[in-house]
Amino acid sequence: MDNKIIIFDTTLRDGEQVPGCQLNTIEKIEVARQLESLGVDVIEAGFPISSPGDFQSVVEVSKSVEKPVICALTRAVKKDIEVAADSLKYAKRKRIHTGIGTSEYHINYKLKSNQQDVLSRAVESVRYARKFADDVEFYAEDAGRSDNEYLARVIEAVIKAGASTVNIPDTTGYCLPGEYGEKIAYLVNNVPNIDKAIISTHCHNDLGMATANTLAGVMNGARQVEVTINGIGERAGNTSLEEVVMAIRSHHDLDFEHGIDSRQIMRSSKLVSNLMRMPVQPNKAIVGRNAFAHSSGIHQDGVLKNRLNYEIIDPAEVGVRESTITLTARSGRAALNHHLQLLGYNLETNELDEVYNRFLDLADGKKDITEEDLEVLVGTKNKKGKRPVELVSLQVVSGKSTIPTATVQVSFKGDVFTETASGNGPIDASFTAVKNLVKRRVRLEEFLIQAITRGSDDIGKVHVQVEHKGKIYYGFAANTDIITASVESFLDAIGKIN
Ligand code: KIV
Ligand code: ZN
């Protein structure tokens, strides 16, 4: 049996189902690009029938990444499959992931059906999906609590119908590792055509077993793992990518291969945690703040004598850097470049100059510049400075018992224009002034402000989506002044209208 493990990331689908963790399309593209750098094989980008936003995100992610297969989820419903196929039209390589519940609970109470009908629907949905994609994955929802003999019959039938991957989800996180491993072994031994498909694990963490179950699955013949960054997902979450990857990597005796560049793990973890506003617990394996911190005297002494005394993973392997050089307004280009290189950025001299100027602006208003701040500074590169419409100045008056008013000055093709407007708050007033200035019918569709790190002097990141003549334009800006960031992101989006 091949020892390559396919890494299927579902951060943007199962992970994103967590209440409060929803991402807008721009953020999904950012995560998808990072997943590509991390080296995942498959990105499950969404559940397109669930909302127009999810549909659009699958479309945009498909356009934005090259290497990974882009996967879209469906129920065993024709309309779902058609919509998923449509959302994948720009994907270089696409996969439709369709399925239905196979446990007694799902068949009797959710689907109000019977085993035979569910089997027929499973087969029909795979056949239908194959009309739109060569790569079709089938999931047997709640396989963890499904009867093995029936599950084997369903799996055999869907492989015959054209599924090349069969996903065995422990949807409720019920299984123990031995039990889940045996389930996979049962399928390996009792599904006659199993050699025609890859078995996939998809484990939830309700009993804290997701990583253990996934590894048990792999040891018994599964060759794809469905995982999320930081283990985010419904309820207690999904299997965490970093835990599975580093367990395989640390245990050479397991003799499995995968394409993950582990040095990108920390960056991926921080990006997902920041964008989803989902802090990582400090003692989380691999990516928690304390995962490599040794606090007791005995441990510190042991680590100083030899790291291997208390560390099974070199922090550098997962992209955790230790640096003693701190960045302040007095730091020079060399110090900035040093930090950027530790973060994995190698900038040309002119790019470094550009980032350095923005760094100085930021350092003037903020005492400690963190890695997150640097990521934002580099992330805004190529956007700031190239906007056709630039913010020259902004003055706002707001507060209790005051009518919020904004005076906005912008430059366009060398000329400077000024406008004053009022609104129900400083941002509304500023946006109205901008709209009056640009004289275009633009509608604000989405507006998201995030303070990315700690204190009140933090940078605010602002994402906007605006609509003009039926088309959507995205804007982004970051600044310690959130009203300035808001206006700049609005101008960024408007500047893209041609
Ligand atoms: O947990 C689950 O069963 C799922 C399927 C929809 C794949 O997420
Ligand atoms: Zn799931």
Domains of the chain and any CATH numbers? 6-276 (3.20.20.70), 293-382 (no CATH), 389-494 (3.30.160.270)
Which pLDDT score is estimated for 297? 62
What's the CA-to-centroid distance between 170 and ligand 1, angstroms? 8
What is the distance between the alpha carbons of residues 108 and 358, in angstroms, rounded to a whole number? 60
Quote the CA–CA distance of 465 and 8 in Å, as a whole number. 29
In the prediction, which pLDDT does 378 show? Answer: 81
pLDDT attached to residue 390: 85
As given in the structure block, the two tokens for residue 422 are: 């009022």
Is residue 169 in contact with ligand 1, taking CB distance under 6 Å? yes
Using a 6 Å cutoff on CB, does residue 47 contact ligand 1?
no
Per-residue pLDDT at 150: 98
Collect all residues with Cβ–Cβ distance below 8 Å to 50 and sequence separation of at least 6: none
pLDDT value at residue 418: 94
* pLDDT score at 381: 43
Strand order in the sheet with 405-412: 389-397, 405-412, 415-422
pLDDT value at residue 296: 62
Q: Work out the number of other CB atoms within 10 angstroms of the CB of residue 114.
A: 10
Pocket test for ligand 1, best of 44, 171, 200 (most atoms within 8 A of CB): 171
Q: Between the CA of residue 406 and those of 216, 432, 456, 468, what are the distances in Å? A: 60, 9, 23, 23
What pLDDT score does 130 carry?
Answer: 98
Residue type, 139: Y
Q: pLDDT at position 380, please? A: 53
In the Cβ-directed half-sphere of 418, how many Cα atoms lie within 13 Å?
4
Per-residue pLDDT, 305: 72
What is the mean pLDDT of each successive set of 10 residues along the chain, which is 498 residues long?
Answer: 94 90 89 96 98 95 96 98 98 98 96 97 98 98 98 98 98 98 98 98 98 98 98 95 97 93 94 87 89 67 73 87 66 83 80 89 77 74 56 93 94 88 95 89 83 65 83 78 90 83
